[in-house]
Each structure stands twice: as C-alpha cells, then as structure tokens.
Structure 1
Amino acid sequence: MSKAVKLKKGLDIKLVGEADQVKVDSKTPSVVALKPSDFHGLVPKVILKEGEKVKRGEVVFYDKYNKDVKFVSPVSGTLSEIVRGDKRRILEVRIVVDANDEVVQKEAVDPSSISKEEVKQILLENGLWPFIKQRPLDKIADPSVSPKAIFISAFDSAPLAPDYDFILRDQDQHFQHGLNALSKLTEGDVNITVNGNGAPDKAFLNAKNVTINKISGKHPAGNVGTQIHHFNPIDKGEFVFTVNPQDVITIGKFFAEGKYDPSRIVALTGSEVENRKYYKTIIGARLDSVIGDSLTQDNVRVISGNALTGTAVGKDGFLGFYDAHITVLPEGDQYKFFLTEGWLSPGFDKYSSHRLFPTWLMPKKKRRLDTNLNGEERGFVVTGELDKVLPFDILPLQLIKAIMVNDIDAMEQLGIYEIAPEDFALCEYVCTSKIAIQEKVREGLDVIEEECM
C-alpha cells in the first residue's frame, strides 16, 4: 500500500553550479578502474595478471570471503596495473581501453519466467550483484539472506544532485526488466520512493508490480535510508536491499540483451567547472574524460559523488562504482583573517546553517562555498543541532557517543541497524565540534557486524 510522508527536519544546501539538462557523450576514457574501496569490507582476489586481455563483462576479481560475488570489467582492454597501498592492499585495478569492445555474450532471459535462485545466479555470475546493497551495514548485499523489502529512491536531494527523471527518460522498458528481476529476490514489496514535491517521470509512475511511495521535504528526503525508516523500519535480524535507479537499468539491460552494459549518465556540477551538463560515460571512467578542459582554476577539489558524501579523487581519479555525480568545488586551503573573512566578519557573503550571519534571511540564494572546515575538532558538546537535520526517530548525539565508547547495547537500542554513514552527512556538516561523524558511524557498523551479525 502506497504511503506519503512529509519531513519536518533536514537542510537544503543551495550551491552554485547545477548541471544543465542536456545529455552529451563524453570522450572515451583511455583507462578505467575498479576500486575495492567502493565496496566496504571487500577483500578482492584478482584472477587476472597484469598484461592480460579482458573482455567487457569478464570477471576480474571476486570477494575473497564470498566467492560467489564477482566483479567484471566495464570495458574491453588490457589489465595494465594493480595499484597497491600499505600492506599490499589493492587500491585500484586499472584497465587500458581498446577499440575492439569485445563483450561476453550471454543468452537473454525474461526474469519473470525463471525462479528466484536462477535470477540470483545470473546476477552473481555476471557481476551484477554488487549493484545491490543491504541495510543494515550499508554494504554489498549478502546473497544468502532474504530481504523483507527492496527500496529504490527515484530522486536525490543532495547538493547539486542529478535529476533521475531526466536521466531515465525513455528507458522505461529496461527499468521494468530490472524491476522484474529484483522482485524475484524478495517475498515483500519492491518500493519506489518518488519526490512528493515534483512530478516524477513515467518510468517511475508506470512501473508495474511495485509500491510507489511519496516523500517530501528537505535533504535527506532522497536518501534511501530516510525512506526505509519512514516506510518500513528495520529491526534486528531483518534485511532490506537497496538499488540505485541507473543500476536497475543496468540489470534490466543484461536480462534483455545478455550483455553487461556499464554505461552511466553523470552530472558534471560545481561552481569551478564550465560545460556543466549530463555526460554519458562508463563505470570507473577516469574523470578527465568527462571534465576535459572545463575547470575554471587549478586549486579545486574534484569529487566523485556529492559534496557531503563523495570521495575527493582529483581530475585524474576515477568515477566511483555507485556515483552518478561529479562535483567540483574551490579548495578551502587558504587562511581567512578572522576580522574580514573569518568568524568575526560581517558575513554578508558567508553561509551558516546556524543563523550566525545575515545571509540566513536569503535561504533560497545559491552560494559558492569552498571546502574549508572553518575550525578544527574540539570537545563534543550537546547543542541540539544534530536533531534539527536528522529526520529519524532516533537520538543522533547519543548514538554517536555510544559508538565512540564502543557501547554495543546502547548502539542497538539507539537504532544503529537502520542507519548508514550518508544518513549522518548533514549532522557532520552542522556539527560545531567538527567531528567526522560519518567515519564514526562506519566504525560503529563494523563493530556491529563483527559482534552481532
């Protein structure tokens, strides 16, 4: 049964630099990379050697602790380098793209006509399973569990977020194919949550065999965690699977065509970049193939993802596996004199969520913000500011402190099974104590996985 929720808490951060609704093809990347860091907790076992040829859709590595979960190459080319860090930890598996585009061809299958186990096997064998994540823990879904529901957020409310209505236009058929496959994985509902403030695209509203819910309000209304909390909360021992809309299409295309299609439309956004459009590229593409010569200056931070939860990778970095968004912001590495630009300045050009400056009287004005923290970590004090931006029926300050002191019982009682780091991104943004709250949440989830799962 469909539901509608209106959030009273949250915060919209208005930034300059939205992408124009124009789709263009990016340059073909010369190199792509699969990054194990995109998949929390993954220990990859690479089955190819440097210099070996690989086809699009061919397995490159698998999860050492769950051999059924495989990761495939998004391109046809040569495995050029396995980049390692401390203790020989694999950071990137780089593949040089060739012009042949050889692809592993499988038989097209109607997911509605096969069993749950057959659908699951196809997803696992062909590198499609990593697109499915789970709550609790916010990591690649465990194939051995049966989720009580599947959630797909049809919109993103983060700063400068891409418009999924625009991205998915004219892809209704593949989207439905993907939904048909996902529906086999659960005895519960496949939930699509649309933006109650807008008019969703027909790809969402015409979807069959799904429950369509509406949610309205400020960010994080578009976060799938917020939607799960309000429409189907998670208790201990329960699981919910989540999938991004573009990944649903990737799954649907495979069942319809028998080929792995890693194409992805990403929004190039931010105040420090020109030619802000929607670019068609591929998963793991090096970002210079999208950004090109569009940077307006050199001292910038290039982020794969949004400004709150994305990863700073630089222009020569690679697009994250789950990202449909590139953000370019001015780097905040310059000292600000406290009387003219700092905390004692009049603040006519500054932004604060705490009404410290007169600019709070213009909440809809878009601003050019840099990455400066404007301070350093200090004592974690009770201010009530976290509660104002977290639309969950939990106590955020108490939960974070329980994580910091490793109190497992308190973590469970305060709702850690429902949350993910991205749900606390706004809490981290407004925190005057400058605590890295998203890192703390991830540490708490790791403890819960080790001790309670």
Structure 2
Amino acid sequence: MIKIKQGLNLPITGSPEDRVSDPITTRSVGLLGGDYLGLKPKVLISPGEFVKIGQPLFHDKNNPGVPFTSPASGVVQSINRGARRSLQSIVIDVEEGEKISFKPLSQKEVELSDSAKIRGRIIDSGLWTSFKTRPFSKIPSINSNPSAIFVNTMDTNPLSVNPEIILEIKKDSFTKGINVLKKLTNNPIHLCTCKNTILEVEKDKHIFHHTFSGPHPSGLTGTHMHHISPASLSNVNWSINYSDVIALGEFFETGEIPTHKFISLGGPQVIEPKIFLTRVGASTDEICNGELKLANNRIISGSVIGGREAMGAFSYLGKYHNQISVIEEASPEDRELFDWGRLGFNRYSVIPLFISNFLKSKKYNLKTLMYGPDRAILPIGTYEKVFPLEMLITVLLRYIVVGDTEKIQSLGGLELDEEDLALCSFVCPSKYDFGSLLKENLARIEIEG
C-alpha cells in the first residue's frame, strides 16, 4: 500500500450520506466543448434537428475518427459558441426516441474478439472519449497505444461520491469493463483502489493492483501515476474513471450506450446532500431546483477546488465529473475590518492564523471569498504541506507563473493535470489559479516542444 502523507481533506460542510437516494431526471442535457482540451469541432447537427442516443454530434478536426455522440434522444435546442467560434455547449431537449444500438457481446465473445474489433466498437459508440492521455490530458488518437492504462476507483475530492458504494451496485459491470480494457493493450493495466476495497481483483498478467491511503489528493490519477509509472513524452499513459469503466461493461453487455450515471450533490448550500442516479450531461440547474438554501449560490460541476462554474451555456454536468457542489457567493459584507487580526472561530486557514486551527473536527460553511488580490509567491512551505509528489513544487509553481516551459518540463510538470494543482491554488497566499496557468503552459509545450 502507498501511504500519502501530504495533502488536505477540506473541512467543508455538506458531504453526502453514504447511501443512494431516488434518481433525479432532467428535461435537458448538454455536451460541453470545454471538457475536451484542444478541441476543434466540426458540428454535424443543427438547432431544431432530432437526434438519437449515440448519434455523432461533432468530430474533432485535431483528432480524426473520434465521434462525440449524443447522450440522449431529443431535439437540439441550441449550439452555443464563444470567442472565435469556440464550442461552449450543445443542448438537447430530451424526448423519447430512437437509439443507435450494437450487438451485445458476452464475456466469452469479448475474450475471443481481436483488439481491433473491441477498439472499433468503443470508438463507434462514443465511449472512446472516456480515455485521457497523460501528459496533456487529451483524448488519445484512435491508432495510439498507451504505455499503461490507469483505472481510478478512488475519489478523495471534497464532497465527492464514495466510489465503493457505486462499485458495490455495479460490480459485475465494472468487472466486464476491465475485461474490455484488457483487449485494448498488452501493456500493464494499473487498478488503483483504496484499502479494504470491495473489489475482488483476480490475478492476471496484465492487471496490477495498487492501494492508496491518505488525504486528498491520494485519490487523483496524477498521484497514482507519479508513484507507479510517471508520465512523460516517452511514457504516455491513459487514464479512465471507474464510472466510465462501468459504462464500458454495460455497453458491451447490452449493446446500448449508457445514458445515466451516479453522482453526488453536496456543499454548504445544499439542503439535503445526496448520491443519486441522473443523466449523463444533466442540467445542473434542473438538478438543483428545490435542493438549495435561498441565497446567491454558485453551482459547480465537479469539486469545490477543481470544478467549473455551471452557469448559462455551461450549466450542465461535465463529462469527467461525478459530483455537483454548491457554495454561497461571497458579498462585500463578508469582509471584516482587520479580519486577519481576529480570533477566527469560524474562519479556516491551512496555516495557524486563527484559533479554529485547534478545532480539528470542525467543518466550515466555506464561500467564494478569496481574502485579497494577487501578490508575489511566498515560499513559506504552504504548498509542500498539501502536495505529495516528489517535486520542487514552489520552484515549479514559479516557473508555471512566468511561463518557462523548459523548466516546467525538467521539474516534472508534464506529469500534472489541472486537478493536481487544485489544492495548491486553494492554499496559495498569493491567490494564483495554478491549474489554468498549467493548462496554458502544457498547450505551448505540446505545440513548441
């Protein structure tokens, strides 16, 4: 077992109970262009057109052969574009209708099928987008082969679903999904779990089982890869989340593209935090309707430290998100005069500024307030407390801020994704959003080297 010591379990109120509540359905779903880095879409449908489940909605000109398919049948309500005609979202009003189906394959048929056939079915179904490369966190090209595939069955993000609950319900589908992955490559498949997992991992020459423990980010794929097989330009790994492995297993078993998944709704502003089944790409506004305390709330697709604000054209569940988080928007009245000099019974800080630092079990109704503007990076050991990878993190963050791509590569920056720096951004006394800066630098490295 690999024990992670540095990190932080954010003490925020509103964690969901460890049980599954009733499903929540929505009348609209959306595919978000921002979920796919480097996307240059060729849209194949028009507003007002009726689409089937599994019908391609667009292709990526930068990654030929990968279809992005509809998670629901219905009428295309809108195609939202942003600056330079970037694709923000495609919104579909859900109606009962046709679906694109495939021939179901039994486990024996999967085992007897060749790799090309299995790969082709995954691509045609649209489930190829479940994979992400490291470095660069992009959908792999259809002809590429990974150095290893990392299957993540953990989630240590604040307010997240406990994956063990879902795996207990969908254990058979997960196992079938793993068998599908084994047909994609002869290289290692690293199954990363918490200790005492309910999964029964069979001995297999391709499957390597690793257990992790400790605070967040012990459940992130970047942490797993760093300790097992660090990603680099010459060692390109793929990753896939447990919910997408379940979807693969269900697809091959039934021949139908899965349209639902389990997620959590949590945070200080949620009346009753819960885990439930909903549509892939579900409307976050519809899910949160009647579930929130009356206030000026911020709805987030993903975690409170690494998610994306779900608002307007973006108010839909992200492809790679298994949670919706809600916190209150801060107001000017939330700032107090000389607040840094107060005792701070209800204030949280990673460094021991307030008396609340001694109240280890206390949880807080955290808001969006940042307590100050950007300023110079201060090397006071804050980042080292929450970053468990063996890197010179303060030095690396400095080079990420100034955009020195050569230094970023030499210090291990290619191993990282935005989520790996979310805690560094949260504890940063300088108020930098390191994740977005990392994304900009990785895009430059991919183009310029």
Q: 2:320 aligns with which of 297, 322, 332?
A: 322
Structure 1 residue 408: Cα displacement: 2.8
Aligned to 2:94: 97
Structure 1 residue 388: Cα displacement: 1.9
**Match for 1:299: what amino acid?**
N
Structure 1 residue 384: Cα displacement: 2.3
In the alignment, the residues of structure 1 paired with residue 351 and residue 434 of structure 2 have an alpha-carbon distance, to the nearest angstrom, of 18
Q: 1:394 aligns with which of 373, 391, 394?
A: 391
TM alignment of 1:208-219, pairs within 5 A = 210-219=207-216
Aligned to 1:127: 126
In the alignment, the residues of structure 2 paired with residue 327 and residue 337 of structure 1 have an alpha-carbon distance, to the nearest angstrom, of 23
Superposed CA offset, 1:49-93 (max 9, x none) = 221111111111111222211111111111121112222222111
Superposed CA offset, 1:243-298 (max 9, x none) = 11011011111111111012111111111111321121111111233222011113
In the alignment, the residues of structure 1 paired with residue 65 and residue 269 of structure 2 have an alpha-carbon distance, to the nearest angstrom, of 42
Over 3 Å counting, the alpha-carbon distance change for 1:314 and 1:66 in structure 2 is: closer
Question: Residue 106 in 1 paired to residue 108 in 2?
Answer: no
Aligned to 1:159: 158
**Worse-matched range after superposition: 233-242 or 346-355:** 233-242
Structure 1 residue 337: Cα displacement: 4.4
Verify the 8 A CA contact 1:57 1:104 in the aligned structure 2: yes
Aligned to 1:45: 42
TM alignment of 1:307-318, pairs within 5 A = 307-314=304-311, 317-318=315-316
In the alignment, the residues of structure 1 paired with residue 335 and residue 219 of structure 2 have an alpha-carbon distance, to the nearest angstrom, of 37
Aligned to 1:148: 147
TM alignment of 1:369-384, pairs within 5 A = 369-384=366-381
Q: Which runs of 4+ in 1 moved over 6 A?
A: none
Verify the 8 A CA contact 1:58 1:72 in the aligned structure 2: yes
In the alignment, the residues of structure 2 paired with residue 383 and residue 443 of structure 1 have an alpha-carbon distance, to the nearest angstrom, of 26
**Match for 2:415: what amino acid?**
E
Aligned to 1:17: 14
Structure 1 residue 205: Cα displacement: 4.2
In the alignment, the residues of structure 1 paired with residue 402 and residue 194 of structure 2 have an alpha-carbon distance, to the nearest angstrom, of 38
Structure 1 residue 194: Cα displacement: 1.5
Aligned to 2:291: 294
Question: Residue 36 in 1 paired to residue 17 in 2?
Answer: no
**Match for 1:280: what amino acid?**
L
Verify the 8 A CA contact 1:287 1:318 in the aligned structure 2: yes
Verify the 8 A CA contact 1:26 1:289 in the aligned structure 2: no
The 3-state SS of whatever aligns with 1:60 is: strand
User: Could you tell me the TM-score, scaled by structure 2's length?
Assistant: 0.94
In the alignment, the residues of structure 2 paired with residue 343 and residue 291 of structure 1 have an alpha-carbon distance, to the nearest angstrom, of 34
Which residues of structure 2 form unaligned runs of 5+? none
The 3-state SS of whatever aligns with 1:167 is: helix
Aligned to 1:428: 425
Number of paired residues? 444
Which residues of structure 1 form unaligned runs of 5+? none
Verify the 8 A CA contact 2:38 2:62 in the aligned structure 1: no
In the alignment, the residues of structure 2 paired with residue 444 and residue 397 of structure 1 have an alpha-carbon distance, to the nearest angstrom, of 16
The 3-state SS of whatever aligns with 2:59 is: strand
In the alignment, the residues of structure 2 paired with residue 364 and residue 101 of structure 1 have an alpha-carbon distance, to the nearest angstrom, of 50
Q: 1:332 aligns with which of 330, 333, 338?
A: 330
**Worse-matched range after superposition: 238-247 or 307-316:** 307-316
Aligned to 1:68: 65
Aligned to 1:406: 403
In the alignment, the residues of structure 2 paired with residue 244 and residue 264 of structure 1 have an alpha-carbon distance, to the nearest angstrom, of 12
Structure 1 residue 338: Cα displacement: 3.6
Structure 1 residue 207: Cα displacement: 8.6
**Match for 2:100: what amino acid?**
V
Superposed CA offset, 1:144-166 (max 9, x none) = 32211111221111111110011
Verify the 8 A CA contact 2:305 2:422 in the aligned structure 1: yes
Verify the 8 A CA contact 2:401 2:434 in the aligned structure 1: no
In the alignment, the residues of structure 1 paired with residue 385 and residue 42 of structure 2 have an alpha-carbon distance, to the nearest angstrom, of 44
Aligned to 1:171: 170
**Worse-matched range after superposition: 431-440 or 106-115:** 106-115
Verify the 8 A CA contact 1:148 1:187 in the aligned structure 2: no
Identity of aligned residues (%): 32
Structure 1 residue 206: Cα displacement: 5.8
Alignment RMSD (CA, Å): 1.8
Structure 1 residue 451: Cα displacement: 1.6
